[in-house]
A and B are shown apart, each in its own frame.
Chain A
Amino acid sequence: MTVQEIHALLTQQFGSDVITGLNTEAKDPWIEVAPSSMADVATFLKSNEQLRFDSLNDLTGVDLLETDAKLAAKFPYEPAIVVVYHLYSFALKHRLTVKVKTPRWKDDVEGQLPEVPSVSDIWAIADWHEREAYDLVGINFIGHPNLVRILCPDDWEGHPLRKDYQFPEEYHGVRNL
Chain B
Amino acid sequence: MALTLEDPRVVEFDVRTDEMLVNMGPQHPSTHGVLRLLLRTDGEVVHEVTPHIGYLHRCAEKIGENLTGPQWIPYTDRMDYLAAMNMNLGQALTFEKLLDIEVPEKAMTLRVIIAELGRVASHLVGMGAYGLDLGTFSPFLYAFREREIILDLFEEVCGARLTYSYITIGGATHDLPGLITIPPGLAQLTGHDPNMKLEWKDACLMFLDWLEKRIAEYHALLTRNAIFIKRTAGLGAMSGEMAISYGCTGPVLRGSGVDFDLRRDGEPIYTRMYKGYDFNIPVAPFAGVPGIPSEVLVGDNWCRFFVRMLEVVESIKLVRQGLDKYPSATGTHRVPFKMNTKLPVDECYLETECPRGQMGFYIIGDGQAEPLRARAKSSCFCNLSITGPLCEGVLLADVPSIVGSLDIVMGEIDR
Which of A's residues lie within 8 Å of B, judged by CB? 26-28, 54-58, 60, 62-64, 66, 71, 74-77, 84, 86, 90, 93, 97, 123-125, 127-129, 132, 136, 149-153, 160-161
Contact = CB atoms under 8 A, between A and B. Distances in A.
A161 B366 contact: no
B177 interface: no
Given A60-B375, A76-B367, A136-B61, 10 more contacts: A28-B349, A57-B247, A62-B372, A77-B366, A90-B244, A90-B258, A93-B265, A123-B247, A124-B245, A152-B54
B345 A123 contact: no
A90 B260 contact: yes
B347 interface: yes
B246 interface: yes
B311 interface: no
Interface stretch (B113-121, B291-299, B357-365): B357-365
Contacts of B367: 74-76
Interface stretch (B17-25, B161-169, B322-330, B377-385): B377-385
Given A90-B260, A150-B53, A58 B375 contact: yes
A80 B401 CA distance: 44
Nearest to B248: A125
B245 A125 contact: yes
A73 to B, nearest CB: 11
Contacts of A57: 247, 349, 351, 358, 360, 377
A16 B368 CA distance: 33
B40 interface: no
Which of under 10, 10 to 19, 20 to 34, or 35 or more describes the interface residues of B? 35 or more
B263 interface: no
B373 interface: yes
Contacts of B320: none
B379 to A, nearest CB: 10
A75 B347 CA distance: 15
B57 A152 contact: yes
A125 to B, nearest CB: 3
B348 interface: yes
Contacts of A161: 61-62, 65, 373
B287 interface: no
Interface in B42-82: 53-54, 57, 59, 61-62, 65
B347 A27 contact: yes
Nearest to A54: B244
Contacts of A76: 345, 366-367
A26 B347 CA distance: 7
A152 B55 CA distance: 8
A65 B245 CA distance: 33
Nearest to A74: B367
